[in-house]
Amino acid sequence: MRILTFKEFMSTEKDSYSAAYEEELDTSVLKIIRQVKEYGDGAIRSYTEKFDRVRLDNFVVSKEEFAEARDLVSSSFLDAIKQAKKNITDFHQEQKEKSWFITKNQGVMLGQKVTPLEKVGVYIPGGKAAYPSSVLMNVIPAQLAGVEQLVITTPPQPNGKINPHVLVAAQEAGVDTIYKVGGAQAIAALAYGTETVEKVVKIVGPGNAYVARAKKWVFGDVAIDMIAGPSEICIVADESAPPSYIAADLLSQAEHDELASSICITTSRVLADSILIEIEKQAAALERKDIIDKSLDSNGKIIVAKDLTNAFEIVNEIAPEHLQLMIKNPTEGMYSIKNAGAIFLGNFSPEPLGDYIAGPNHTLPTSGTAAFSSPLGVYDFVKKSSIIHYSQEALLETADHIIKLANTEGLTAHANSIQVRKDDSDANTQHYQKNSRNSD
Amino acid sequence: MRILTFKEFMSTEKDSYSAAYEEELDTSVLKIIRQVKEYGDGAIRSYTEKFDRVRLDNFVVSKEEFAEARDLVSSSFLDAIKQAKKNITDFHQEQKEKSWFITKNQGVMLGQKVTPLEKVGVYIPGGKAAYPSSVLMNVIPAQLAGVEQLVITTPPQPNGKINPHVLVAAQEAGVDTIYKVGGAQAIAALAYGTETVEKVVKIVGPGNAYVARAKKWVFGDVAIDMIAGPSEICIVADESAPPSYIAADLLSQAEHDELASSICITTSRVLADSILIEIEKQAAALERKDIIDKSLDSNGKIIVAKDLTNAFEIVNEIAPEHLQLMIKNPTEGMYSIKNAGAIFLGNFSPEPLGDYIAGPNHTLPTSGTAAFSSPLGVYDFVKKSSIIHYSQEALLETADHIIKLANTEGLTAHANSIQVRKDDSDANTQHYQKNSRNSD
């Protein structure tokens, strides 16, 4: 954990990471994708045996396994999941979009039709760890959007089972199709389909480097949520913030993995020192101290800023996944924030509150992508279609503009599509006038 | 142009195209990106010389060039552009999203803050062709979203100039920074910045294979709109539709390029035959007949469907970029459509109306991606941040749920972040109780 000045921070350069062929990783990911495309379930079984060290003839979670999971989880876990589900549903309900239309003179109607995606696949990391919270955060917005077919895929444990907490969370969220498949092979199965796994149109959910890279490759053939990088927290604190809270929150971010970034920006040098002392004190008692130490050593920073204006400038530069404003007037501070995945206001809104229970999504843009990406939401599970209706009268009135623009672009068949209708109407008018004259 | 039955169509297989390293294309695209990253403007100048056959020391469009362009375009073109701008603005205005929040008991506030992207780059194809309509369609939604810095990049003509119609459209739309740079080098410059070109956070706009592939590679470091494939039209027609209109609209799609698809699905075999005759008649007089012939030969189809239910099933399978419903009750038909970029209703709403003047965006999901993507819109130029505020009371009430879930996931430092606040409050309560007792 280092203490930096504003100037020192601003002079460090950020790296880019996407635009390169990563020889080793990409070669194996592309091979896995090709194999799954060609051999389907067979390829999945052999990769599962290779990577997850278990041979599964049937990799669909059975009703019995769901029932068994229910017996294995505690009632306090179930209570917590139910509360989380309720809060997540309440919040995401507000994100639902309506189709709309406007009308103009002469029978013109223009609109936007909102339609749920038909089939979505959710990837949930597995193996040793279990993330029931990720199940809720990915599934509930999709359900609210009205997605018809929703499946989960997650790597099996070495005994061929899925963690019971994940199964119960899935059941609570209303998903009953779960495949015991992980890694790039899961992404390929969802993107292209196999005998067992139906092809989806969008893949969401976090994963390791293989999963992330496979998502980058299948992107275009299917939609993906985002390519998740390491997790970050940025805490802006003034002298009013309790150093023990800040330390605890930085530590909670650091335990995710060694690449996670825990950053505090403060206007108080005294606070900076107290935070360091608190971190040392609290870290000693934490289970994942090894990961925490490595993470803080490489990516932990306390930046001392002249004032809050300075601090917010740094925040907008970092575009952190999580931002906590632990300052006297956090709500006012929020107005100055342009780039952040989620903004937590005040001393009693720590990041884990958002990870598990508050309601907003915990799938957030990482690695500075909050500058251009949004939290996962109901809007990620719908698509829009434009609607255009013109009457004959309205089209004819604007026909010359269209013909002019089409000809300017050298697209004369476009002009012809309008001209045909114009000529036809002229002919009808003449026909009508002729008939009128005849009957005079 | 072939006539197929429903069954014949459904049995043809669709290809996937993304998940492969395209040795030749990707190698040169990645080389260009690396060179631009390393040598900046110098790399841009040498690629412009190589690909666009012109040496440009200064590749920023000057004020004089803008003024000169204004003198070169006709007033009827300017009128058409102004009308298009007005209609596009009117429609996209309706897409603007508001930030929102909800409050709950105990001082809980949750919300979603909508913020415009700061810097956006628009790619406009150039060289021989000129697309002033694409300038409006890409720039206006960004302007309405509130994007602060908007630049256009487009390849120069061999004389080092930019097409005057493009310049005037840009000026009308309010953009005054235009770079004379095309291809993968333009995408790299926007994604990573050079001495002259400032790095943006999102790149939008259509382009050739180099541009599309470069966008796939930089995706993640910056946002991109979509990877555009060849253009498609699908027309659903019953016996009430005039064959001459349908023929004209299929031809207008076919002139885009040899890979464009023109598909008509009709319930009337008689109509199918009349359309073929009309196509032959009209095509003879069209400038781009060579491209049209090739396109219709490879990708032109008339599918005869049993009924409209059948026809809509095919539409949802194709997920066309453009859909025209030329049937007796097009608005009712629209309700059955799940997958389409834009839906044109009735005999007087041909696709070129939407390309140029109606108002909705003409940047639409191609190659079946309408199953999961939306037209370009104001929503593409903003991002969202979640907002979470809990009071001490609210946090403490739900603290045990959070601690339970964090511990279930093995993230004990997350649990600690809540525990620290709980302990602190317990200590304060005891302190308060002790003080109360003292004062008894």
Residue B438 buriedness (CB in 10 A; 0-12 / 13-18 / 19+): exposed
Cβ contact, residue pair A387, B110, below 8 Å: no
Residues A168 and A255 in one domain: no
For the stretch B117-134, what's the b/e string if a residue is b when 16 or more beta carbons lie within 10 angstroms of its beta carbon? bbbbbbbbbbbeebbbbb
- For B245, the token pair is 């209109």
Task: Flag whether residue A284 sits within 8 Å of chain B, measured between CB atoms.
Answer: no
Residues B238 and B220 in one domain: no
Confidence of residue A434 (pLDDT cuts 50, 70, 90): low
Task: Flag whether residue A126 sits within 8 Å of chain B, measured between CB atoms.
Answer: no
The amino acid at residue B389 is H
**How many CB atoms are closer than 10 A to CB A65?**
17
pLDDT for residue B434: 57
Residue-wise DSSP of A270-338: HHHHHHHHHHHHHHTT-TTHHHHHHHHHHH-EEEE-SSHHHHHHHHHHH--SEEEEESSSHHHHHTT--
Q: Which residues of A touch B344 (CB under 8 A)?
A: 388-389
A2-5/A301-304 β-pairing: parallel
Task: Flag whether residue B217 sits within 8 Å of chain A, measured between CB atoms.
Answer: yes
Specify the residue for token string 């180099």.
B210
Cβ contact, residue pair B390, A348, below 8 Å: yes
Is the residue at B4 inside a domain?
no
pLDDT for residue A431: 63
SS3 category, A3: strand
Which A-chain residues 387-406 have CB contacts (< 8 A) with chain B? Answer: 387-392, 394-395, 398, 400-402, 404-406
Q: Distance (Å, rounded) from C-alpha B204 to C-alpha B151?
A: 11
Q: Does residue B322 have an active-site annotation?
A: yes
A31: closest chain B residue by CA: B20
Residues A93 and A190 in one domain: yes
Which B-chain residues 100-119 have CB contacts (< 8 A) with chain A? Answer: 100, 102, 108-110, 112-113, 115, 117-118
In CATH, what number is assigned to the domain containing residue A348? 3.40.50.1980
Residues B164 and B248 in one domain: no
| Nearest residue to B291 via CA among B252, B259, B260, B255 | B255
Q: How far apart, in Å, are the Cα atoms of B22 and each of A3, B27, B257?
A: 46, 8, 22
pLDDT above 70 as % of chain A:
95
Statement: residue A22 has pLDDT above 70: yes
**CA B203 distance to own-chain centroid:** 10
Is the residue at A7 inside a domain?
no
pLDDT for residue B21: 79
- For B262, the token pair is 């023109």
Is the residue at B15 inside a domain?
no
pLDDT above 90 as % of chain A:
82
Per the structure, the complete domain to which residue A72 belongs is given by 23-226+380-384
Total number of domains constituting chain B:
3
Residues B257 and B334 in one domain: yes
Q: Which of B363, B384, B405 is the last residue of a domain?
A: B384
Is the residue at B106 inside a domain?
yes
User: Sheet containing A119-123: which strands, arranged edge to edge?
Assistant: A178-179, A149-153, A119-123, A202-204, A223-224
Q: Distance (Å, rounded) from C-alpha A288 to C-alpha A283?
A: 9
Statement: residue A137 has pLDDT above 50: yes
pLDDT for residue B238: 97
Q: Distance (Å, rounded) from C-alpha B123 to C-alpha B222?
A: 14
Specify the residue for token string 């003047």.
B357
Is the residue at B13 inside a domain?
no
Residues A139 and A53 in one domain: yes
- The H-or-E segment that residue A378 falls in is none
Model confidence pLDDT, tens digit, residues A139-179: 999 999 999 999 999 999 999 999 999 999 999 999 999 99
Helices and strands in chain A, H and E counts: 17, 14
Is the residue at B297 inside a domain?
yes
Q: Which of A172, A255, A278, A322 is catalytic?
A: A322
Q: What mean pLDDT do residues A309-313 have?
A: 96
Q: Does residue A321 have an active-site annotation?
A: yes
Residues B212 and B273 in one domain: no
Is the residue at B18 inside a domain?
no
Residue A78 buriedness (CB in 10 A; 0-12 / 13-18 / 19+): middle
Statement: residue A14 has pLDDT above 60: no
Per residue, the 3-state secondary structure of A345-367, as one string, reads: ECCCCCHHHHHHCCCCCCCCCCC
A11-17: long-range contacts at Cβ-Cβ below 8 A with a sequence spacing of 24 or more?
A: A14/A368, A16/B37, A16/B191, A16/B192, A16/B221, A17/A229, A17/A367, A17/B220, A17/B221
Residues B195 and B299 in one domain: no
Which A-chain residues 302-361 have CB contacts (< 8 A) with chain B? Answer: 330-331, 334, 337-361
Residues B75 and B129 in one domain: yes
- For B187, the token pair is 């995408």
pLDDT for residue B432: 58
pLDDT for residue B439: 45
Residues B328 and B430 in one domain: no
pLDDT for residue A19: 67
Cβ contact, residue pair B346, A389, below 8 Å: yes
For chain A, what is the mean pLDDT? 93
Q: How many Cα atoms within 13 Å fall on the side-chain side of residue B78?
A: 11
For B73, list phi and psi in degrees, rounded to 5: -95, 150
Extract the residue ranges of chain B whose pLDDT is less than 50: 16, 438-440
Q: Is the dihedral of CA A295, A297, A298, A304 positive or negative?
A: positive
Statement: residue A12 has pLDDT above 90: no
Task: Flag whether residue A91 sits within 8 Å of chain B, measured between CB atoms.
Answer: yes
Which A-chain residues 2-61 have CB contacts (< 8 A) with chain B? Answer: 16-21, 26, 30, 33-34, 37
The answer to whether A414 is a known ligand-binding residue is yes
Is the residue at B12 inside a domain?
no
Give, as one character, the DSSP assignment of residue A232.
E
Task: Flag whether residue A121 sits within 8 Å of chain B, measured between CB atoms.
Answer: no
In CATH, what number is assigned to the domain containing residue A408? 1.20.5
Residues A250 and A357 in one domain: yes
The answer to whether B409 is a known ligand-binding residue is yes
Residue-wise DSSP of A49-111: HHHH----S--BPPHHHHHHHHHHS-HHHHHHHHHHHHHHHHHHHTT----EEEEEGGGEEEE
Model confidence pLDDT, tens digit, residues B371-385: 999 999 999 999 999
Model confidence pLDDT, tens digit, residues A24-36: 898 999 999 999 9
Per residue, the 3-state secondary structure of chain B, as one string, reads: CEEEEHHHHHHCCCCCCCCCCCHHHHHHHHHHHHHHHHHCHHHHHHHHHHHHCCCCCCCECCHHHHHHHHHHCCHHHHHHHHHHHHHHHHHHHCCCCCCEEEEECCCEEEEEEEEECCEEEEECCCCCCCCHHHHHHHHHHHHHHCCCEEEEECCCCCCCCCCHHHHHHHHHHCCCCEECCCHHHHHHHHHHCCCCCCCCCEEECCCCHHHHHHHHHHECCEEECCCCCCCEEEEEECCCCCHHHHHHHHHHHHCCCCCCEEEEEECCHHHHHHHHHHHHHHHCCCCCHHHHHHHHHHHCEEEECCCHHHHHHHHHHHCCCEEEEECCCHHHHHCCCCCCCEEEECCCCCHHHHHHCCCCCCCCCCCCHHHCCCCCCHHHHEEEEEEEECCHHHHHHHHHHHHHHHHHCCCHHHHHHHHHHHHHHHHHHHHHHHHHHHCC
Specify the residue for token string 């004020």.
B63
Q: Which residues of A touch B383 (CB under 8 A)?
A: 339, 365, 370-374
Q: How far apart, in Å, are the Cα atoms of A370 and each of A302, A341, A350?
A: 21, 5, 19
Between A215 and A127, name the one with better pLDDT. A215
Contact call for residues B75 and B358 (beta carbons, < 8 A): no
Q: Distance (Å, rounded) from C-alpha B392 to C-alpha A245?
A: 13
ipTM, 2 dp? 0.93
Residues A274 and A196 in one domain: no
| Nearest residue to B33 via CA among B233, B277, B216, B158 | B216
Contact call for residues A369 and A319 (beta carbons, < 8 A): yes
Model confidence pLDDT, tens digit, residues A387-405: 999 999 999 999 999 999 9
